[in-house]
Amino acid sequence: YHKPVVIQDQVLGELTLDKDYDTFEGEIQWCGKNVSLSLEVNAESKPSWTRARSAAKKLLADCETWNKAMRELAAKNLTELANNWLSQDEENPRNPETDPITEEELSRRISMTSLSVTSGGSFTAWFDCDEMFTDHAVTVHGSLKKGLKAANIEG
pLDDT digits (tens, 9 = 90+) for 59-116: 999 999 999 999 999 999 999 999 999 999 888 889 999 999 999 999 999 999 999 9
Looking at the domain assignment, is residue 59 inside a domain? yes
pLDDT confidence band for 1 (50 / 70 / 90): low
Looking at the domain assignment, is residue 47 inside a domain? yes
Q: What domain range includes position 12? A: 1-89+101-155
Looking at the domain assignment, is residue 95 inside a domain? no
Q: What is the mean pLDDT of residues 121-145?
A: 95
Q: Is 126 helix (H, G, I), strand (E, B) or coil?
A: strand
Looking at the domain assignment, is residue 130 inside a domain? yes
Q: How many CB atoms lie within 10 A of CB 31?
A: 13
Looking at the domain assignment, is residue 55 inside a domain? yes
Q: For residue 140, what are the β-bridge partners?
A: 125, 151
Share of the chain above pLDDT 90, in %: 91
Residue 107, pLDDT score = 97
Looking at the domain assignment, is residue 124 inside a domain? yes
Distance CA 5, CA 3 (A): 6
79-84: Cβ within 8 A, 24+ apart: 79/103, 79/106, 81/133, 81/153, 82/106, 82/129, 82/132, 82/133
Looking at the domain assignment, is residue 143 inside a domain? yes
Structure confidence by residue, pLDDT tens digits, 102-121: 999 999 999 999 999 999 99
Looking at the domain assignment, is residue 96 inside a domain? no
Give CA angle at 71 (25, 69), nearest 5°: 90
- Our count of domains for the chain comes to 1
